[in-house]
Amino acid sequence: MRLLLSNTGRRWVLHQAQILALGQVPHDLDPSLWILLLELSRNKVVSFPCEVGVEPLLERDLVEISDQPVGEAALALRAKRDPLEHVSRVAIEFTTSCGFHCLHCRNAAQTPVTEDNPARLFPAVDLLAEMGIRRFDFIGGEVTQFGTGWLDAVRYVRKKSDTTVTTLTSGWFLERENFMAAGFRYGKDLDLLEDLARHGVTHLAFSLDGPEEVHDHCRRTPGLYQRVLAGMAKARQVGLNPQVSIIGATLPWLVEVARALYPEARQEAPSALLRRLEQDEQNYRSNLVDVGGAAALRKGTIKLRAIRGEDLPCRGFFRPSPSLRINAGGEVATCPLMGGAPGFGNLRGKSLAHILNHLQETPLFRLHAEKRIADYRRFLDPGFFGGGVDHLCAVRVAVSRIAPIMLERGVDPEDAPAVRSVNEEVALNMGEDLPRISTNTAAN
């Protein structure tokens, strides 16, 4: 019997070694088993006459049995592609439902989904905490409004030592009275904020899409920007740490945001405030990518014909950093732009340990790790994507969705109608307006 360290086992050993370095007791394993794990962590295969004696490692998914000989080169490549090495947080998309209809919403074309059994997440939380993951981000949709039961999951996370919980929100509840939020009624916004803190939320990240006029226009909610800036002080008042999730990087408005976010540094120079904002790891910063609702805002500045297959492989699909995702339907993923597309496995059918330990076998992982995604560039039909995009990731997402469908369904590459059908399905799920695109393509 040949034993290999699993993906979760490698991450677990690394975490336990860090604990040991701090002078603490790292684990409850027999010393001989710990020595075995250290040996395996040096990219070695260890042979055992049988499974007797290593059952605790197998039961905890720390090791796996290899039926085939594994050479040093293969082990070195496996370690080099360790998909969990740089993961520092987990984003739990508890719901995709939202009360807003933002112009750029990524979920605009998706059927809303909400996790209906918070306890389903508990074994995943156990595993992630054992691997040293300490930051858990609850996102949506709008989880504070539609994530019924999500605070049960928050409480469970906070039972793990040294964990933090960040919640992303639009601030929809600010200055409201007598409103419902995730199944509970609140008299005023401070009541909800206090409830979040009481259940264990530590950080509250407000989404901002740009300067006041841009943000309120994108959110279709006049006055929201100013309510968010004022809401940061309310969050601090109840013990929450306010943060921001920002689209774009226009300096003047970011200085204004930083002054609201860090009142103790309000008098600092703009450059110092921007450094605070940039260096604060609790903040999010992202680009506006033309998928979902943002597809309708596309100008087509990057022509599809200019995008080569070799531009498409993305390390985020096989070396995620900094976060993994658990989507509302239970799908384990990495890219937030993929929407409801299949990822690496679903918690409603398999354990998180099984999914993480078999990542390298999944089509999506292999397409990017082995750069085979380039082979599928030729199947992208410009007629469904307007002939151009504004961000390369829009094409990455399209091809990353087309390829697995073709593989799963066994679509013949020479079957033009079948390939066209897959393109149409993917385009619709990505928020493309096919009549508009058809007209624009004809005009081009």
Global confidence as pTM: 0.94
Residue in 170, 162, 157 with CA at minimum distance from that of residue 90:
157
Residue 22 pLDDT grade (very low, low, confident, very high; cuts 50, 70, 90): confident
Tokens of 58: 């197998």
- pLDDT at residue 218 in the model: 95
Residue 443 pLDDT grade (very low, low, confident, very high; cuts 50, 70, 90): very low
Query: Residue 312 contacts by C-beta under 8 Å, 6 or more apart in sequence?
Result: 373, 374, 377, 395, 396, 399, 400
pLDDT for 163 beyond 70 = yes
Q: Quick check: 160 and 129 in contact, CB under 8 A?
A: yes
**Contacts made by residues 115-118, CB under 8 angstroms, sequence distance 24+:** 115/147, 115/149, 115/150, 115/328, 115/330, 116/149, 117/149, 118/149, 118/150, 118/152, 118/153, 118/156
Residue 139 three-state SS: strand
Q: Torsion angle of alpha carbons 180, 182, 184, 185, nearest 10°?
A: -20
Q: Are residues 100 and 224 in the same domain?
A: yes
Beginning with the edge strand found earlier in the chain, give each strand of the sheet holding 2-5 in spatial order.
Answer: 46-47, 2-5, 63-66
Parent domain of 61: 2-80
Q: Are residues 171 and 200 in the same domain?
A: yes
Residue in 298, 138, 293 with CA at minimum distance from that of residue 220:
293
Highest mean pLDDT among 44-48, 81-85, 259-263: 259-263
In degrees, to the nearest 5, what angle opens at C-alpha 160 toward C-alphas 157 and 161?
135
- The whole-angstrom separation of Cα 108 and Cα 97 is 10
Q: Quick check: 202 and 166 in contact, CB under 8 A?
A: yes
Q: Which of 60-74, 141-155, 166-180, 249-263 has the lowest mean pLDDT?
A: 60-74
Residue 444 pLDDT grade (very low, low, confident, very high; cuts 50, 70, 90): very low
- pLDDT at residue 49 in the model: 64
pLDDT tens-place string over residues 197-212: 999 999 999 999 999 9
If phi over 0 gives left and psi between -120 and 50 gives alpha, with beta otherwise, what is residue 149? Answer: left
Q: Are residues 243 and 189 in the same domain?
A: yes
- pLDDT at residue 52 in the model: 61
pLDDT for 436 beyond 70 = no
Tokens of 104: 């750029």
Q: Are residues 11 and 151 in the same domain?
A: no
Q: Are residues 282 and 168 in the same domain?
A: yes
Residue 335 lies in a domain: no
Highest mean pLDDT among 35-49, 86-100, 240-254: 86-100
- pLDDT at residue 272 in the model: 95
**Bridge partners, residue 5, by sequence:** 63
Q: Are residues 55 and 160 in the same domain?
A: no
Q: Quick check: 154 and 200 in contact, CB under 8 A?
A: yes
Task: Return the H-helix or E-strand segment holding 93.
Answer: strand 89-93
Task: Return the H-helix or E-strand segment holding 232.
Answer: helix 224-237
Q: Are residues 49 and 100 in the same domain?
A: no
Q: Are residues 13 and 122 in the same domain?
A: no
Residue 374 pLDDT grade (very low, low, confident, very high; cuts 50, 70, 90): very high
Residue 442 pLDDT grade (very low, low, confident, very high; cuts 50, 70, 90): very low
User: How confident is the model over 247-274, as a mean pLDDT?
Assistant: 91
pLDDT tens-place string over residues 381-409: 999 988 899 999 999 999 999 999 999 99
pLDDT tens-place string over residues 104-124: 999 888 899 999 999 999 999
Q: How many domains does the chain divide into? A: 3
- Of 57, 80, 103, the domain-final residue: 80
pLDDT for 433 beyond 90 = no
Q: Quick check: 110 and 430 in contact, CB under 8 A?
A: no
CATH no. for residue 178? 3.20.20.70
Residue keyed to tokens 């990524």: 106
Q: What's the mean pLDDT when you consider all of the chain?
A: 92
pLDDT for 440 beyond 70 = no
